[in-house]
Amino acid sequence: MSLTALKCPSCSSAIREPDIDLSRGLAKCSYCGSVMNLTASFGGSAQGGGKREPVALPKRMTFEKTLHGIEITRSWFTPVVWALVFFCVIWDGFLVVWYAMAFTAGAPMIAKLFPVIHVTVGLVLSYYAVASFVNKTHVTLERGILRIAHRPLPWPGARELAGMSLRQLFCKEHISRGKNGVTVTYELWALHDDGSTKTKLAAGMELEQALYLEQELEKALGIQDRPQPGEVPGRA
Ligand SMILES: [Zn+2]
C-alpha cells in the first residue's frame, strides 16, 4: 500500500509530515529548504484543511498588466536597511578620519595602503545601502519571455528566459548567519523542462513576496499548481 505524499519540487525528496504546517498552508523541504504553498490543488480536499488562500499583493510590490503581459515589481527597501545605513556611516566615517590623519600627519605608506580592503567593503556596502532605497526588481512576462532586471542602479542578476522552457517555479529558504544573528530570506527558483536545470530568478525576498511572485508567474505561465503529488511507500 502507498500513500500520496508531497514531493519537493527542487530535490524530489518526500516531504515529511512534521514539515507540513497546515495552519499556515505551507510545507518546507527539510533537505533543501524549498517552501511549498499548499494551494487548492492539493491539501484542501485531501487533507481536510491546509488550503491556503491565494497570496494577496504584499507590501512593497506592484502588479500591473502591460500591453503584452504582466509586470511585477518589488522594492528592495526593508526596515533592516537602516541598520546597514548606520553601519556604513560608522565604517565610512572611520575611514575618512583615518585617511585625513594618514595624509596630514605624513604617516607611513602602510597607513595609506592598509585599509584598502576596508575601503572596498565600505564602497560595496554603501552602494548596496543606497540601492536598497531606490532599486526595484522588475519581473516581466511578455510574449512568453520572462525577464528579471534590477533598476535604476546597476546590479547583477538580470535574466531572460523563455517561459515555455520552465516546468515549475518554487520558493527556497536562504539562511545567512552573520554577526547580528540569523537572517532568513526567500528566493524564487525555476526548474527547467529537462527536470534538472535550475535558475535562481530572484532573491532577498520576504516569504509572502516570494510566494506571491511564484503564484502570479505560475498563473501567467500556465504552470500547474504545486506541489505535485507523488507516490511514496507507506509506513508499516
Ligand atoms: Zn527539497
What's the CA-to-centroid distance between 185 and ligand 1, angstroms?
16
What's the CA-to-centroid distance between 194 and ligand 1, angstroms?
17
pLDDT digit string, tens, across residues 97-114 = 988 888 887 777 777 777
What's the CA-to-centroid distance between 119 and ligand 1, angstroms?
39
Mean pLDDT computed over every residue of the chain: 84
Whether pLDDT at 141 is above 90: yes
What's the CA-to-centroid distance between 110 and ligand 1, angstroms?
50
pLDDT digit string, tens, across residues 178-225 = 777 888 999 999 999 888 899 999 999 999 999 999 999 999 998 865
Domain residue limits, the chain = 2-76+135-233, 81-132
Q: Which residue has the cell 519537493?
A: 8
